[in-house]
Structure 1
Amino acid sequence: MTNYIQFCSYTLLLILFASACSGDYRKKAIGPVDEVIVVMDSSQWESETADAIRETFGRYIQTVPQPWEPAYTLIFRDFESNQELDELKRFRNIIIAAPLNEQTNTSQLVGGMLGSEVRQRVELGESFAFPLQDRWAREQWTLVLTSTSDERLAEKIRNSSDELLSHLEEREINYRTGEIYRRGEQVALADSLWENHGWSVRMQHDYVQLFDSTQSVMFRRYLPDNNRWMWAWWKDNVEHGDFINPEWINSTRDSLMQFLVQGERDSSYVETDYREAVKTQEFSTGSRLTGYETMGIWRMTNDFMGGPFVHFTYYDPETRRVFMIEYAQFAPRVNKRRFVRQFQAMGRTFASDSTWGKFNPDFAATQ
């Protein structure tokens, strides 16, 4: 992880001329947001480095029902001319990988993109990964991977695989946010949550509210082949968030869903399917809030139903409130990856009113 963090300052030297500004009239990058073009010499497509790239960016997402889908679809490409290289430079997501000082076109490209100081750090083993933003086109992500040998580069990629992948995932989530609300947004509905309950998330254009109580709400976006829903629950007067951990999150979720998300059959309700992977991680909210994201698969008790879920737990120390927001899907004939990324994007739009309750005498008396 240290190597991955170190490269950021050196990358700035490479991309100053391509920094985003109001006068950037270059074309937008092309290609799906879930696809990565891997530029490597064709003789190295079965190398240790290529395998490490597949394991990192092409790994299967285990928090969606089988058949599992890859984090990203990888397309390996080589080039023999400047024209072919210019064609590759048009794509949205690009990885350029090669050991230094090899007699291949890709290695020479990498060497030409790195200054002497950066090359020296690579040779010393101090840096190996260099992300570039909008290098040749707008809305483009490029990652240069290099080291002194195939084996060493593969080892460094594997040792930093989670950090490398998360960097691209965060960019995709930001893209998905714009994609979701570009088609329409229920601003009035989000405003009502803020006004009545002291929190909000941005609401996609066709979610319908099912109920609204003093401590929970639920919305559904129903299509015959793609049923999605979102529920939220919150609690006041929570002194601290030290107790929040994966065990508490999942046990609380399961107890809430017994009455929040019930099935059509008697005594059927949604619960976590612990036979599959359930992953919780804390993430930076960029604010005073502490945020946790939990991903996994739900199942319906007394029925044959299941699907992916993305859950968020937030703690607001200013108002001493804890919040749970969960998105889920039932769509047996639909690929789930895109919708899981949308859930991740929507849940990150959560906001909490820092003034909530401060004009309530009971609240003020406890401060």
Structure 2
Amino acid sequence: MNKNLVLILSLLPFLFFSCEKKEDNLPRNATGKTNTISVIIDDQLWNGEIGESIRNKFASPVIGLPQEEPLFTINQYPVKLMEGFMTDSRTIIVVKKDKKTLFEIQKNQYASPQNVFHISGKTNGDILEIIEKHTSKIIQIIKETEIAESQRINRQSLINPIIIRNKFQIALEVPYGYSYALQKNKFLWLKKEIISGNSSLLIYEVPIKSIRNNATTITNIIRIRDSIGNLYISGAELNTPMMTEEGYSPYLFKLKLNGKETYETKGTWELKNDFMSGPFVNYAIVDEPHNRILILEGFCYSPSKKERDLMHELESIIKSVVILK
């Protein structure tokens, strides 16, 4: 037999073994439903003041929804079950009594993408202090990871971006399922039908002086969105335009989106003289190079289904925006 052939055959088992070892070292894919946390904590702590603190902070009501829904869905497991399927979760919070006080964040410890937050302390007071101190940071990291994961899923099947790109000079990752409900000169309405209702995405622009950073900011944003509703969005009956629900004061936040100053408004919409209503999130981006305020808004109607994750999907789409030069 050819010596080279003998050498190759003798090396094959080692090659296969090497490949298997590399496969074993690859992180598992993280799993789980959107906005879900696995909390690894013994029942005694979970049923006491520490568990109450975790529930109050991570399952507090979502801002801007008409019906109360938790910020995150929490699944609790005892520490002894810290193995198997729950270690595939995208978000894990491990809380336990220990000899040392510790707060640590480990990325992709068991799977990817994943955040594992380790919290430990000698006493209940030590643990409660860590939770109080780091809650805002933990929530921010979880939200960013969930948005990134939703955007990754969206990219697997996107609608044709040409219309949006040509009309507004932006790139936006809109997943398959949305279709163009209405197109005007400076306005687009994309809509997706779901079993319990529909989700909508609005894109439009207004003059840059329409919104100023002062006490009138929220008033101007509501005035603009109500005027758009009056022009383009209404119910099946006459005189039923979409408007901001007056019974709930919208929430206003200031942030950076695509590196630009942005006003985020969350609230509830309703149809005038009709029964339909639901949540909305509005992003008004100050786009100085194009001398405009670019507005991207998501809203949904789902009277028989939870709306938290529907709004999360719309937020993940809007936050994929890139303003082109």
Among candidates 114, 138, 143, match of residue 117 of structure 2? 143
Tell me: CA distance 1:252–1:162, structure 2 relative to 1, closer, same or farther (3 Å).
farther
- Between the aligned partners of 1:133 and 1:139, the Cα distance in structure 2 is 8
Q: Is the 8 A contact 2:154 2:174 kept in 1?
A: no
- Deviation of 1:192 after TM superposition, in Å, equals 2.4
Taking the TM superposition and a 5 Å limit, the aligned residue runs for 1:12-161 are: 25-66=26-67, 68-80=68-80, 84-87=81-84, 88-101=86-99, 122=101, 129-161=103-135
Q: Is the 8 A contact 1:62 1:276 kept in 2?
A: no
- Between the aligned partners of 1:322 and 1:209, the Cα distance in structure 2 is 22
- CA distances 1:182-226 after superposition (whole Å, capped 9, x unpaired): 2x2113xx2222223323422222322233222222222234522
Among candidates 264, 267, 287, match of residue 296 of structure 1? 267
- Deviation of 1:46 after TM superposition, in Å, equals 2.4
Which has more strand, going by share of residues? 2
- Deviation of 1:147 after TM superposition, in Å, equals 4.2
Q: Is the 8 A contact 2:201 2:314 kept in 1?
A: no
User: Which residue in the other structure is 1:181 paired with?
Assistant: 155
Tell me: CA distance 1:264–1:316, structure 2 relative to 1, closer, same or farther (3 Å).
same
Tell me: CA distance 1:98–1:246, structure 2 relative to 1, closer, same or farther (3 Å).
farther
Q: Under a length normalisation based on structure 1, what TM-score does the superposition of the two structures give?
A: 0.74
- Deviation of 1:336 after TM superposition, in Å, equals 1.3
Tell me: CA distance 1:312–1:42, structure 2 relative to 1, closer, same or farther (3 Å).
same
User: Which residue in the other structure is 1:272 paired with?
Assistant: 244
Q: Under a length normalisation based on structure 2, what TM-score does the superposition of the two structures give?
A: 0.83
Among candidates 288, 291, 303, match of residue 317 of structure 1? 288
- Deviation of 1:143 after TM superposition, in Å, equals 0.9
User: Which residue in the other structure is 1:4 paired with?
Assistant: none
Among candidates 197, 204, 219, match of residue 226 of structure 1? 197
The structure that has the greater radius of gyration is 2
- Between the aligned partners of 1:331 and 1:27, the Cα distance in structure 2 is 34
Higher mean alpha-carbon deviation, 322-331 vs 230-239, is at 230-239
Q: Aligned AA for 1:92?
A: R
Q: Is the 8 A contact 1:38 1:96 kept in 2?
A: yes
- Between the aligned partners of 1:273 and 1:240, the Cα distance in structure 2 is 20
Tell me: CA distance 1:86–1:324, structure 2 relative to 1, closer, same or farther (3 Å).
same
Tell me: CA distance 1:25–1:261, structure 2 relative to 1, closer, same or farther (3 Å).
same
1:258 pairs with 2:256:
no
Tell me: CA distance 1:271–1:24, structure 2 relative to 1, closer, same or farther (3 Å).
farther
- Between the aligned partners of 1:161 and 1:69, the Cα distance in structure 2 is 19
How many residues align? The count is 302
User: Which residue in the other structure is 2:143 paired with?
Assistant: 169
- Between the aligned partners of 2:40 and 2:279, the Cα distance in structure 1 is 33
- Between the aligned partners of 1:342 and 1:251, the Cα distance in structure 2 is 25
Q: Aligned AA for 1:69?
A: E
Q: Aligned AA for 2:242?
A: V
- Between the aligned partners of 1:193 and 1:36, the Cα distance in structure 2 is 35
Identity %: 17
Q: Aligned AA for 2:82?
A: L
Q: Is the 8 A contact 1:200 1:352 kept in 2?
A: yes
- CA distances 1:223-260 after superposition (whole Å, capped 9, x unpaired): 45221222222124549953583333223222321212
- Between the aligned partners of 1:129 and 1:248, the Cα distance in structure 2 is 43
Higher mean alpha-carbon deviation, 147-156 vs 267-276, is at 147-156
Q: Aligned AA for 1:228?
A: S
- Between the aligned partners of 1:295 and 1:92, the Cα distance in structure 2 is 26
Tell me: CA distance 1:160–1:265, structure 2 relative to 1, closer, same or farther (3 Å).
farther
- Between the aligned partners of 1:199 and 1:155, the Cα distance in structure 2 is 44
Q: Is the 8 A contact 1:240 1:317 kept in 2?
A: no
Q: Aligned AA for 1:96?
A: V
Q: List alignment gaps of at least 5 residues for structure 2.
A: 1-22
Tell me: CA distance 1:43–1:196, structure 2 relative to 1, closer, same or farther (3 Å).
closer
SS in 2 for 1:290: strand
Higher mean alpha-carbon deviation, 148-157 vs 30-39, is at 148-157
Q: Is the 8 A contact 1:257 1:270 kept in 2?
A: yes
SS in 2 for 1:284: strand
- CA distances 1:307-335 after superposition (whole Å, capped 9, x unpaired): 12121111112222211111111121122
RMSD across aligned positions (CA): 2.7
Q: Is the 8 A contact 1:37 1:77 kept in 2?
A: yes
Tell me: CA distance 1:296–1:40, structure 2 relative to 1, closer, same or farther (3 Å).
same
Q: Is the 8 A contact 1:241 1:315 kept in 2?
A: no
The runs of at least 4 consecutive aligned structure 1 residues that moved more than 6 Å come to none
Tell me: CA distance 1:305–1:281, structure 2 relative to 1, closer, same or farther (3 Å).
same
User: Which residue in the other structure is 2:5 paired with?
Assistant: none
